[in-house]
Homo-oligomer: A and B are copies of this chain.
Amino acid sequence: MQIQDKFDQIMAKNNSLVCVGLDSDLNKLPEHLKNSENPQFEFNKAIIDATHDLVCAYKPNSAFYEASGPKGIEQLKMTCDYIKETYPEIPIILDAKRADIGNTNEGYVIYAYDYLGVDVITLHPYLGSEAIKPFLERLDKAAIILCRTSNPGAGEFQDLVSDGQKLYQIVAKKVVNDWNKNGNCFLVVGATYPEELADVRKMAGDMIFLVPGIGAQGGDIEKTVKAGLNSKKAGMIINSSRGIIFASSGEDFAEKAREETNKLKIEINKYRN
């Protein structure tokens, strides 16, 4: 099955475009978990069990696990294994923002797709398509290319104009028309820039977008959804991390995460029709 279909199916089954970002920073975990043997995994497992019927994907960010060294990588793998065994219908996105030159990317391909076994990875476009071929050639997986990111200052280079088009538009066109030959490319477009999101949607047909920036980063849900939906009233993986997973720092963190996920799901769906 192509990854695009896996997303279409889970978005329909759970009637949800919500992705829960598993940015499980060790320092921010509830106190009562900090002394358990695998606190990041225990935390993730509880969040996943509490939200699996409300989401279209989980997105662990590699940085928060790498910060704990090998022990963190192990817990990231435990998290991915748990999702694949327990909820195999839910895609896993590794937010790793990688991209090296050709032969070196093989290492990251093995790390993400084979060792962790995720479905999707996020990638930087700066080195061009030739460099990231090892990712694009994996037909059973998908690559999400950073196009217009959600951070303040994203425009420093992404808004530079070349031949009448902004860099993020050029990236979008390249990915849509050229890099996506195998139908396994998605784009990152931040919720904090709804005009740019609408603009990229015009270029990208029904391509799936990963949309960070809702919640803690301040993206507006109504504007984001209206700007980014594809012709199937879907095609967006709308991510919230801190706003969901750290909604409570007490023993009820998973319950509160469920509440926030459900609230976000309902709020998003309000603007889908």
Interface residues of A (CB under 8 A from B): 23, 25, 61-67, 69-71, 73-74, 77, 95, 97-102, 104-108, 110-111, 115, 124-131, 146, 149-158, 160-163, 167, 170-171, 174, 212
Contacts and interface: CB of A to CB of B under 8 A. Distances in A.
A89 to B, nearest CB: 25
A29 to B, nearest CB: 14
A39 B107 CA distance: 16
B167 A154 contact: no
A152 B61 CA distance: 29
A146 B158 contact: no
Given A63-B105, A130-B153, 4 more contacts: A66-B108, A99-B124, A131-B149, A161-B162
5 contacts: A61-B100, A63-B108, A64-B107, A69-B74, A126-B149
A101 B150 contact: yes
Contacts of A106: 63, 67
Contacts of A71: 70
A69 B115 contact: yes
B63 A69 contact: no
B153 A160 contact: no
B126 A151 contact: no
A98 B96 CA distance: 8
Contacts of A104: 23, 61, 63-64
Nearest to A155: B128
Contacts of A146: 126-127
Contacts of A131: 149, 151, 153-154
A146 B126 CA distance: 8
Contact of A63 (B66, B74, B100): B100
A40 to B, nearest CB: 12
Among A101, A108, A149, the one with the most B-chain Cβ atoms within 10 Å of its Cβ is A101
Contact of A99 (B73, B97, B115): B97
B61 A107 contact: yes
